[in-house]
């Protein structure tokens, strides 16, 4: 069905079906738009007409939301929309040559739609397949392990207009690559056991109290199952696994103690918007331990008195949606979700899954909540914080996938058991996403305190010059620091562990990361919106050989501005990869300081490239001499 010639009535029919499924609820705007895009291949103006009429939401608001997310198209992008993952690891695995090969084979220009409206090929941020790259997304579905053969086959399938459902299933197969399981990845708990254990741990009088009253009413301190769970989480010294490391027990307690206004409920949100380049451990946890994650969310709901839960799944992991929904359905059948869970009176909780649409910034918890409410993913002004004013202004906890999985284990085995693992300041285990220059990329779970050197040895990395821990917003660790440890007291991490051997140019690594932040800045605040573009331009200037010490000073100045003035963590950390690599790999920059004095970024000879292309000339006479044209 050609979508460019789809009639307005057909579009309206699609919109009506989707809108009905979401109960005409404008807070589901992002989910509605995502499904319209899936059905229509883009969001045609006629769909917005219909949404405006059926939801009663102004057009400006709908277009404002649709325009924010990279995977929603307000212009047709073809029936096959191919997006190559552009993480540095994909590049190291040869993604650029493969993309050129596909473009060449399909006779299209990168970023443009083919003349027959069939296909477009472009790039997107890291899709979380670094251990099995290079990878791409076609119409939002992941295809890892690209090779020349696979690319040629894909070109053939697209040319033959073969529906995605008829493509070879092995193309879409994503490996788990679990290299070192520990308590989380190796857990064999039966669904419901953590909840049962949590309930059994309640003091007798608490159990009585919790049987007599709804858990929502709250119980006197020191009483009841919910408080007992909270105590175990605190005793476990569990800290958030998303990177910031906030103490989970404190967050839960603050939410539990937040007053509810009439008609409000408490909300549990699982942040599975795993967008940090180089990170993919949540993908694996959701693939092999989905029950543990959902059980952790239910334990949290029990502890704080929440009745509604969300899993916010990054758009790149859309392929997991049906499987996760099946797990939820099974848990509902087993009375592990729904009303009076496990027969506990008043223990009502259910989980729905929202899927993102290509916006890294939504990993920031307040931006994630905005996105859950169907809005643009712009981080909120804080205070107030989500624990008191979160989803639809209700008390909300947002925790990482791994945090919830750990919480389920704590409910099962107790806080002391958990706190005995790891180090004094970092209890428990950490799942690392290891990729880059090593023999065995994949997920590795270690007790906190493992050294960088140990991980490198285990994954078979040799001749390593640097490891980017926790992705671009984390830190770049050089060889003389390999005895440092993973833990909140030394190197905190959300999980990425990207290895670079001596062949790699660390300037290009930093430049790739700077491009990432520029692409993902939400555009809300001036310093990040403009500053990340200025920083990208400076890195590109150095890359082109027009850099001078002046530009170095400019980079430092931008670093300071972004750190001091930005609205959220994206801007605060956008300069980290540059600062780190300047400090630790200065020769990679100095090689590019080809100019002693300031040299403008504008290059007259390069500006004439378009004229050369149009006239089909590229001889010496069509170029300016180096003296007049700046650098060669």
HSE, CB side, 13 Å, CA atoms: give it for residue 135: 29
Locate tokens 């039966």: which residue? 190
- How far is Cα 136 from Cα 140, in angstroms, rounded to an integer? 9
Name every residue whose Cβ is closer than 8 Å to that of residue 194 and which is 6 or more positions away in sequence: 292, 295, 296, 299, 408, 409, 411, 412
User: Residue 432 forms beta bridges with which residues?
Assistant: 444
- In the complex with another protein, the residue whose CB is nearer, 251 or 536, is 536
Residue 21: CB atoms within 10 Å: 12
Dihedral angle, C-alpha 533, 60, 20, 5, nearest 10 °: -80
- How far is Cα 580 from Cα 567, in angstroms, rounded to an integer? 22
- In the complex with another protein, the residue whose CB is nearer, 74 or 145, is 74
The CB-of-446 to another protein minimum distance in angstroms stands at 34
The CB-of-563 to another protein minimum distance in angstroms stands at 8
- How far is Cα 318 from Cα 577, in angstroms, rounded to an integer? 29
The CB-of-601 to another protein minimum distance in angstroms stands at 6
Dihedral angle, C-alpha 144, 150, 156, 159, nearest 10 °: 30
How is residue 44 written in tokens?
């045609």
- In the complex with another protein, the residue whose CB is nearer, 191 or 472, is 472
- In the complex with another protein, the residue whose CB is nearer, 44 or 449, is 44
- In the complex with another protein, the residue whose CB is nearer, 87 or 532, is 532
Q: Is 507 left (phi over 0), alpha (psi -120 to 50) or beta?
A: alpha
- In the complex with another protein, the residue whose CB is nearer, 124 or 429, is 124
- How far is Cα 559 from Cα 101, in angstroms, rounded to an integer? 37
How is residue 308 written in tokens?
């509604």
- How far is Cα 208 from Cα 223, in angstroms, rounded to an integer? 10
- In the complex with another protein, the residue whose CB is nearer, 147 or 526, is 526
CA 100-103-109 angle, 5° bins: 105
- In the complex with another protein, the residue whose CB is nearer, 146 or 535, is 535
The CB-of-139 to another protein minimum distance in angstroms stands at 21
Helix, strand, coil abundance in the chain, percent, nearest 5: 50, 15, 40
The CB-of-554 to another protein minimum distance in angstroms stands at 8
The CB-of-525 to another protein minimum distance in angstroms stands at 5
The CB-of-65 to another protein minimum distance in angstroms stands at 8
- In the complex with another protein, the residue whose CB is nearer, 72 or 401, is 72
The CB-of-85 to another protein minimum distance in angstroms stands at 19
The CB-of-594 to another protein minimum distance in angstroms stands at 19
- How far is Cα 256 from Cα 220, in angstroms, rounded to an integer? 12
The CB-of-559 to another protein minimum distance in angstroms stands at 12
- In the complex with another protein, the residue whose CB is nearer, 134 or 577, is 577
- In the complex with another protein, the residue whose CB is nearer, 404 or 517, is 517
- In the complex with another protein, the residue whose CB is nearer, 107 or 602, is 602
What CA–CA distances, in Å, run from 232 to 235, 303, 418? 5, 10, 9
What CA–CA distances, in Å, run from 55 to 26, 32, 72, 524, 572? 6, 11, 19, 26, 37
Query: Binding residues for another protein, per CB under 8 A?
Result: 45, 48-49, 58-61, 63-64, 66-70, 359, 376, 381, 383, 518-527, 529-534, 537, 557, 560-561, 564-567, 600-602
Whether the CB-CB separation of 177 and 185 falls below 8 Å is answered with: no
Pairing of strands 396-400, 306-313: unpaired
- In the complex with another protein, the residue whose CB is nearer, 452 or 574, is 574
- How far is Cα 161 from Cα 155, in angstroms, rounded to an integer? 10
The CB-of-575 to another protein minimum distance in angstroms stands at 14
- How far is Cα 434 from Cα 456, in angstroms, rounded to an integer? 9
- How far is Cα 18 from Cα 36, in angstroms, rounded to an integer? 7
DSSP 566: -
What CA–CA distances, in Å, run from 133 to 137, 144, 320, 487? 12, 5, 18, 28
The CB-of-355 to another protein minimum distance in angstroms stands at 18
Q: Which residues of 289-310 are buried (b: 16+ CB within 10 A; e: fewer)?
A: bbbbbbbbbbbbbbbbbbbbbb
- In the complex with another protein, the residue whose CB is nearer, 354 or 567, is 567
């Amino acid at each position: 069905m050609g979508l460019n010639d789809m009639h307005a009535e057909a579009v309206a029919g699609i919109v009506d079906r989707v809108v009905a499924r979401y109960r005409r609820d404008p807070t589901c705007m992002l989910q509605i738009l995502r499904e319209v895009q899936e059905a229509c291949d883009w969001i045609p103006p006629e769909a917005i007409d219909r949404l405006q009429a059926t939801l009663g939401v102004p057009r400006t608001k709908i277009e404002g939301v649709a325009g924010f997310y990279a995977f929603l198209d307000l212009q047709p992008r073809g029936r096959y929309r191919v997006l190559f993952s552009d993480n540095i690891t994909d590049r190291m695995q040869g993604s650029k040559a493969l993309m050129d090969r596909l473009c060449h084979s399909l006779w299209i220009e990168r970023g443009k739609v083919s003349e027959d409206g069939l296909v477009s090929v472009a790039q997107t941020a890291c899709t979380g397949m670094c251990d099995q790259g290079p990878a791409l997304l076609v119409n939002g579905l992941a295809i890892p392990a690209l090779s020349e053969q696979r690319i040629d086959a894909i070109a053939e399938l697209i040319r033959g207009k073969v529906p995605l459902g008829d493509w070879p299933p092995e193309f879409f197969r994503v490996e788990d690559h679990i290299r070192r399981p520990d308590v989380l990845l190796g857990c064999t708990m039966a669904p419901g056991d953590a909840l049962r254990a949590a309930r059994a741990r309640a003091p007798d009088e608490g159990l009585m109290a919790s049987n007599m009253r709804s858990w929502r009413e709250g119980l006197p301190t020191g009483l009841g199952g919910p408080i007992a769970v909270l105590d175990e989480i605190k005793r476990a010294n569990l800290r958030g696994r998303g990177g910031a490391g906030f103490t989970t027990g404190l967050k839960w307690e603050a939410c539990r103690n937040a007053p509810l206004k009439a008609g409000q409920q408490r909300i549990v949100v699982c942040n599975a918007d795993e967008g940090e380049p180089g990170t993919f451990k949540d993908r694996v946890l959701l693939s092999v331990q989905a029950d543990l994650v959902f059980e952790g969310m239910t334990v949290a709901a029990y502890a704080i008195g929440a009745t509604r839960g969300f899993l916010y799944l990054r758009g790149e992991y859309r392929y997991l949606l049906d499987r996760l929904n099946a797990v939820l359905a099974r848990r509902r059948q087993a009375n592990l979700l729904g009303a009076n869970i496990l027969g506990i009176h008043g223990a009502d909780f259910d989980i729905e899954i929202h899927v993102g649409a290509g916006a890294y910034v939504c990993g920031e918890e307040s931006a994630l909540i905005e996105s859950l409410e169907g809005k643009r993913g712009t981080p909120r002004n804080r205070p107030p914080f989500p624990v008191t004013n979160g989803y639809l202004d209700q008390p909300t906890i947002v925790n990482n996938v791994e945090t919830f999985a750990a919480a389920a284990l704590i409910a099962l085995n107790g806080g002391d058991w958990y706190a005995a693992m790891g180090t004094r300041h970092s209890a428990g285990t950490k799942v690392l996403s290891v990729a880059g220059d090593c023999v065995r990329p994949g997920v590795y779970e270690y007790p906190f305190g493992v050294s960088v050197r140990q991980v490198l040895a285990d994954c078979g990395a040799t001749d390593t010059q640097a490891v980017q821990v926790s992705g671009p917003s984390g830190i770049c660790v050089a060889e003389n620091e390999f005895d440092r440890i993973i833990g909140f007291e030394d190197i905190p991490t959300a999980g990425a562990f990207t290895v670079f051997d001596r062949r790699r140019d660390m300037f290009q690594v930093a430049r790739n990361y700077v491009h990432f932040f520029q692409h993902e800045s939400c555009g809300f605040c001036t310093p990040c919106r403009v500053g990340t573009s200025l920083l990208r331009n400076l890195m590109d200037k150095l890359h082109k050989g027009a850099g001078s010490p002046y530009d170095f000073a400019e980079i430092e100045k931008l670093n300071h501005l972004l750190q001091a003035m930005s609205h959220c963590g994206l801007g605060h950390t956008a300069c980290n990869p540059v600062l780190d690599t300047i400090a630790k790999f200065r020769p990679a920059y100095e090689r590019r300081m080809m100019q002693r004095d300031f040299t403008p970024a504008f290059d007259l000879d390069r500006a004439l490239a378009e004229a050369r292309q149009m006239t089909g000339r590229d001889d010496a006479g069509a170029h300016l001499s180096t003296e007049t044209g700046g650098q060669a």
